[in-house]
A and B are shown apart, each in its own frame.
Chain A
């Protein structure tokens, strides 16, 4: 009964969210003086209105959001406030590009190696923040944000320097060979097999969080590091480090998949802020990897639709950012409301007859 009630709540929450999105979008469009039906129409056609939009726009965008969203969920669950998925994604993209350019001949093996290098680079980038916290007590909220900028400008330097394409005309790396492209899914436009990798990994992460001892330790440390250490005899530092590394690896993999599946080269604007949107994706999912699949699709659709709205109705795509922010506020409010509902439980405190 409790489970069905929880499902009902989740569904209700989703419904309310959707109504809120459409409602506030319409309201904002109206206030700003745009043609509301036309703009909403563009939002629809640009995201899910056609097979092409669904696969090549929405689902393609959902892949990095799913992986980075999962990265954030894992970290936040453990009480690690990793705001640096964007930087870790860029590090991963850079690592994957370097490997793909160096060993293009090796085919599938090269793809595997590029993906692994991307994940390792993301983990390493997050590891910097982990070491800063463990050694010097630097709050990761600060360090990971800072490292985002370091990563961005490092990529900016690389694509104008060591990794720049041979003509030195554009700020980008050479394109990677066809042999190291991720395969497209037949009949689904630009959608590539990265979606399978992402879904499988996110499902696995959600399962691990629920059903493994390591997942439990992650949660326990996030809930109360003192109780985890004292009552659980858990090595809190180690678990925290693991959370940083796992989170960074997932975000790094997102960058690697983006290069191998979509951009085929390293650019400084490789990511339109996936690592930041990921925070919203994870929070809306209640930090549950499984639900991240749903919320990443929602945000991917919104962003795909935003592009179409800008093209077809002249609505600035930043409007969608406003809506995303409002969405987060709505979720936080709904969670606070739910917390108040479950706040009181009546327990029979009278001694039992057989207590003596």
Chain B
């Protein structure tokens, strides 16, 4: 232990979001000269803790100290003034502005092009980053945009730099380069907090490692004394009670009945050696294969950016594959994570929203009377609370919206003609209960199990591992664009997600 007080100390931080405790008495000491890795599963509280340090979230309890002295941080501007910089997962750059303009943004006084360019050159020289002051940000690669974000923080004289999963968006070579730079930056007497789920990365670069689980610090210590195994164990907490065990009774019944599907049951959804590229031409899925059979729920787990986004959409027929083959019924029910963006017309009636199912293949006249009747029965069957079929979607609660979308995607009531399905029903669902309360969650789970028992092929992705375990008959893990089947065991899945096994 060094004698000097830590560059940044977060002490006994607690924070609740409604009934959810995001942080519980969490403490973190970051020494000058150190890279400090902050580890944890999705939702463990890593980002929230750093948002407290950066003034984006206020703590209910706890103290923030810089070099031993307590500081009041109520807004990012306070944090910046105190010498804290943060590079977010989602960049905060203005695409239509140049690098120099982006870096100058938020400053005061006159804007002089010469001075802006000079400042960028200084930072480029100090960091070794290749920065073109006059390049438009929208023309830069993700890696280059990230360097602009870092330069922005350094231009404000940050001595403590928080990087939120910086390597998630980078190619391996870029990631290595970034980590080497972080090391040098810390060696120069600064401090870096590195939020990550990648254990190898943390062990490779960090001096110290802190692990959060369910908002609590469960491990902190020197990186040299930690191993992938101990850290994975700390992150996953093998002895921790699974949150979904506490759900109300309706789901319990289904929970115990874990279907054993014969391996010769009909494959309804299948990906055979599928490769998918993103719009930048990078492979997000490589030679990925997965089969979902009639009458089973396959749970999919994986960390952000691992390729599950693409896999789910390829199987649902929502995106095209570059190579390989997808086997699916014409109509696959698909419930995407961002419902407001991708699943509903917020300002239209429930009937209009019901009509969305199969709209692309519909021909000729629409029978609104039939659709209204169909909408009515969806609402009755799935217990969607709304005054009428003509109620505007936006006025429904999140739980009712989700139930409506589920209802629409799970039934075949609304499909006629060309798209009328055979018996082979398939449902692909992404984070089925995000944002829902306990009761709504239980209802959604019960629906999925009922569909499974009815012979549907169900593929569920959840960023909450407990939810995957609660629902799945069989589990597959996506990691770095590949898929493999794993036993339904918390520990094994957790390791596979982190690429540690």
Given the known inter-chain contacts A216-B366, A231-B334, A231-B357, please indicate yes or no for A348 contacting B385, CB distance below 8 A: yes
- Could you say which interface size class chain B belongs to? 35 or more
Query: Chain B contacts of A342 at CB under 8 A?
Result: 392
Distance between Cα atoms of A231 and B317 in the complex (Å)? 11
* Stretch from A103-111, A220-228, A317-325 contacting the other chain: A220-228
Q: Check B95 for interface membership: any CB of A closer than 8 A.
A: no
Query: Chain A contacts of B362 at CB under 8 A?
Result: 213, 216
Q: Check A336 for interface membership: any CB of B closer than 8 A.
A: no
Q: Which of A220, A235, A356 neighbours the largest number of chain B CB atoms within 10 Å of its CB?
A: A220
Contact check, B365 vs A230: say whether CB atoms are below 8 A apart.
no
Contact check, A213 vs B365: say whether CB atoms are below 8 A apart.
yes
Contact check, A231 vs B343: say whether CB atoms are below 8 A apart.
yes
Query: Chain A contacts of B346 at CB under 8 A?
Result: 223-224
Contact check, A230 vs B368: say whether CB atoms are below 8 A apart.
no
Contact check, A212 vs B360: say whether CB atoms are below 8 A apart.
no
Distance between Cα atoms of A121 and B439 in the complex (Å)? 59
Closest to B419 in A: A233
Q: Check B361 for interface membership: any CB of A closer than 8 A.
A: yes
Query: Chain B contacts of A348 at CB under 8 A?
Result: 385
Distance between Cα atoms of A352 and B337 in the complex (Å)? 27
Closest to B405 in A: A231
Interface residues of A in 187-222 (CB under 8 A from B): 211-213, 215-217, 219-220
Contact check, B400 vs A233: say whether CB atoms are below 8 A apart.
no
Query: Chain A contacts of B395 at CB under 8 A?
Result: 343-345, 347
Contact check, A216 vs B355: say whether CB atoms are below 8 A apart.
yes
Distance between Cα atoms of A223 and B352 in the complex (Å)? 11
Query: Chain B contacts of A343 at CB under 8 A?
Result: 395
Query: Chain A contacts of B250 at CB under 8 A?
Result: 356
Q: Of the candidates B334, B348, B360, which one forms a contact with A234 in the assembled complex, judged by CB atoms under 8 Å apart?
A: B360
Q: Check B83 for interface membership: any CB of A closer than 8 A.
A: no
Interface residues of B in 199-253 (CB under 8 A from A): 250
Distance between Cα atoms of A228 and B362 in the complex (Å)? 13
What 0/1 readout, one digit per residue, does chain A (316-344) give for beta carbons within 8 Å of chain B?
A: 00000000000000000000000000111
Q: Of the candidates B318, B348, B355, B366, which one forms a contact with A233 in the assembled complex, judged by CB atoms under 8 Å apart?
A: B318
Contact check, B364 vs A227: say whether CB atoms are below 8 A apart.
no
What 0/1 readout, one digit per residue, does chain B (326-352) give for beta carbons within 8 Å of chain A?
A: 000000001010000111111110001
Query: Chain A contacts of B383 at CB under 8 A?
Result: 352, 355
Interface residues of B in 346-404 (CB under 8 A from A): 346-348, 352, 355-366, 368, 383, 385-387, 390-392, 395-397, 400
Closest to B318 in A: A230
Given the known inter-chain contacts A212-B365, A216-B366, please indicate yes or no for A230 contacting B386, CB distance below 8 A: no
Query: Chain B contacts of A314 at CB under 8 A?
Result: none
Given the known inter-chain contacts A212-B365, A224-B345, A227-B342, please indicate yes or no for A349 contacting B360, CB distance below 8 A: no
Q: Of the candidates B344, B359, B386, which one forms a contact with A216 in the assembled complex, judged by CB atoms under 8 Å apart?
A: B359
Contact check, B392 vs A230: say whether CB atoms are below 8 A apart.
no
Q: Check A351 for interface membership: any CB of B closer than 8 A.
A: yes
Distance between Cα atoms of A348 and B405 in the complex (Å)? 19
Contact check, B356 vs A220: say whether CB atoms are below 8 A apart.
yes
Distance between Cα atoms of A347 and B403 in the complex (Å)? 15
Query: Chain A contacts of B366 at CB under 8 A?
Result: 211-213, 215-216
Task: Give min CB distance, A166 to chain B, whole Å.
Answer: 51
Interface residue count on the A side (C-beta < 8 Å): 32
Query: Chain B contacts of A352 at CB under 8 A?
Result: 383
Closest to B397 in A: A349
Q: Of the candidates A211, A228, A235, which one forms a contact with B365 in the assembled complex, judged by CB atoms under 8 Å apart?
A: A211
Distance between Cα atoms of A230 and B342 in the complex (Å)? 6
Contact check, A235 vs B391: say whether CB atoms are below 8 A apart.
no
Distance between Cα atoms of A233 and B345 in the complex (Å)? 14
Distance between Cα atoms of A172 and B438 in the complex (Å)? 75
Distance between Cα atoms of A348 and B385 in the complex (Å)? 7
Distance between Cα atoms of A141 and B334 in the complex (Å)? 34
Q: Which of A212, A223, A230, A348 neighbours the largest number of chain B CB atoms within 10 Å of its CB?
A: A230
Q: Check A135 for interface membership: any CB of B closer than 8 A.
A: no
Q: Of the candidates A211, A213, A231, A233, which one forms a contact with B344 in the assembled complex, judged by CB atoms under 8 Å apart?
A: A231
Closest to A356 in B: B250
Q: Check A23 for interface membership: any CB of B closer than 8 A.
A: no
Task: Give min CB distance, B255 to chain A, whole Å.
Answer: 16
Interface residues of A in 232-268 (CB under 8 A from B): 232-235
Query: Chain B contacts of A232 at CB under 8 A?
Result: 356-360
Closest to A238 in B: B360
Distance between Cα atoms of A262 and B364 in the complex (Å)? 36
Given the known inter-chain contacts A212-B365, A217-B359, A220-B359, please indicate yes or no for A227 contacting B386, CB distance below 8 A: no
Interface residues of B in 57-110 (CB under 8 A from A): none
Contact check, A347 vs B359: say whether CB atoms are below 8 A apart.
no
Distance between Cα atoms of A212 and B363 in the complex (Å)? 8
Contact check, A227 vs B390: say whether CB atoms are below 8 A apart.
no
Distance between Cα atoms of A322 and B347 in the complex (Å)? 32
Task: Give min CB distance, B342 to chain A, whole Å.
Answer: 4
Contact check, B359 vs A213: say whether CB atoms are below 8 A apart.
yes
Task: Give min CB distance, A3 to chain B, whole Å.
Answer: 9
Query: Chain A contacts of B405 at CB under 8 A?
Result: 231
Q: Which of A224, A231, A342 neighbours the largest number of chain B CB atoms within 10 Å of its CB?
A: A231
Distance between Cα atoms of A342 and B348 in the complex (Å)? 12
Task: Give min CB distance, B314 to chain A, whole Å.
Answer: 13
Contact check, A230 vs B334: say whether CB atoms are below 8 A apart.
yes
Distance between Cα atoms of A234 and B359 in the complex (Å)? 6
Distance between Cα atoms of A216 and B371 in the complex (Å)? 13
Task: Give min CB distance, B469 to chain A, whole Å.
Answer: 24
Contact check, A227 vs B385: say whether CB atoms are below 8 A apart.
no
Contact check, B342 vs A345: say whether CB atoms are below 8 A apart.
no
Interface residues of A in 1-18 (CB under 8 A from B): 2
Q: Of the candidates B317, B343, B391, B397, which one forms a contact with A227 in the assembled complex, judged by CB atoms under 8 Å apart?
A: B343
Contact check, A227 vs B341: say whether CB atoms are below 8 A apart.
yes
Query: Chain B contacts of A212 at CB under 8 A?
Result: 364-366
Residues of A within 8 A of B (CB): 2, 211-213, 215-217, 219-220, 223-224, 226-235, 342-345, 347-349, 351-352, 355-356
Interface pairs A-B: 9 shortest CB-CB: A232-B359, A213-B362, A233-B360, A230-B342, A345-B395, A234-B360, A223-B345, A232-B356, A231-B356
List 15 A–B pairs whose Cβ atoms lie within 8 Å, in order of A's numbering. Answer: A211-B365, A213-B359, A213-B366, A219-B348, A226-B341, A227-B343, A230-B342, A230-B343, A231-B336, A232-B356, A233-B361, A345-B387, A347-B386, A355-B383, A356-B250
10 further contact pairs, Cβ within 8 A, besides A211-B365, A233-B360:
A213-B362, A216-B352, A220-B359, A227-B356, A229-B318, A231-B343, A231-B344, A231-B356, A344-B395, A349-B400
